[in-house]
Structure 1
Amino acid sequence: MTTLPGQECTTMAEVRAGVDALDRELIALLRRRFDYMDAAARIKPERGQVRDEARKAQVIANAKAQAVAAGLPEQEIGQLWDTLVEASIAYELAEYDRRVTKS
C-alpha cells in the first residue's frame, strides 16, 4: 500500500499504513540518536558526567519550542522528550558501565 500524507488519507487502512511507516522511520532516527549516546559514553571520562541536568533542560526546552513552531502541543512534547532524555541517560549509563567493565 502506498503511504499517503495524513491530510490525503480517506480510510483507516491508509492512516494505519502511514503511522506504521512513520514508526519505522522514528525507530531508525532513535537508533541514530542512541548512536550519539554510545559516543558520549565513550567520550565522557567520568560516569558522573553522564547526567547533565542543565543539558537535559535545554534539550527539552528546544523540543518544546520546536513543537510550538510546528503547531504541536507543547506540554505533551515536553513530557515525551523528558521520557526520551531519561531513556537516553539510562542507555548511556549502561554503555558507560559496559565500556568501563570491558576495559
Structure 2
Amino acid sequence: MTAAKSPDQCETMTDVRAGVDEVDRALVALLVRRFGYMDAAARIKTDRGTVRDEARKAQVIDNVAREAEAAGLEPERLRAVWNELVEQSIAYEAVRWDRLRVDRRS
C-alpha cells in the first residue's frame, strides 16, 4: 500500500479520502496504545474511586489545548474531542477495574 499524499499535495477528493483513511488507521493504533495505559491503570489502582480523577482530566485536556494552539489548531475544538476521549477512557478503565477484581474473586 502506498502512502497517502500530504494535504497540500491532494488534488482530488480521492486523494483527500485516502489521506483521511490513513490518518484514521494511525489514530486507531495510537488509541489502542492509549487504552493499553487504561488497562495498566486499572491493574495498578487499588481503589475504584480513583478511576475518575477530575484534576488529572483537566490537566490532560489543558495539555492538549496548549499543544493544539501551538500547532495552529483551535484549542476549544480539541478540548471537546479530548473531553469525550477522556470520558470514554474513564468508562473503559472502570469496566476493566471491575473485571480484574471479579476475575480474582472467582
Measured against the shorter chain, the TM-score band is over 0.9
1:69 is the counterpart of 2:79? no
Which residue of structure 2 aligns with residue 94 of structure 1? 95
Give TM-score scaled by structure 1 length.
Answer: 0.98
Which residue of structure 2 aligns with residue 38 of structure 1? 39
Which residue of structure 2 aligns with residue 21 of structure 1? 22
Q: Percent identity?
A: 55
Specify every segment of 5 or more residues in structure 1 that has no aligned partner in the other structure, as ranges.
none
Give TM-score scaled by structure 2 length.
Answer: 0.95
Runs (4+) off by over 3 Å: none
1:17-55 deviation line (CA, Å, top 9, x unaligned) = 000011000000000000000000000001001000000
Instruction: Tell me which amino acid in the other structure corresponds to 1:88.
Output: S
Q: Structure 1 CA distance, aligned partners of 2:3 and 2:102?
A: 47
Aligned length: 103
CA RMSD of aligned residues (A): 0.8
Q: Structure 2 CA distance, aligned partners of 1:35 and 1:51?
A: 17
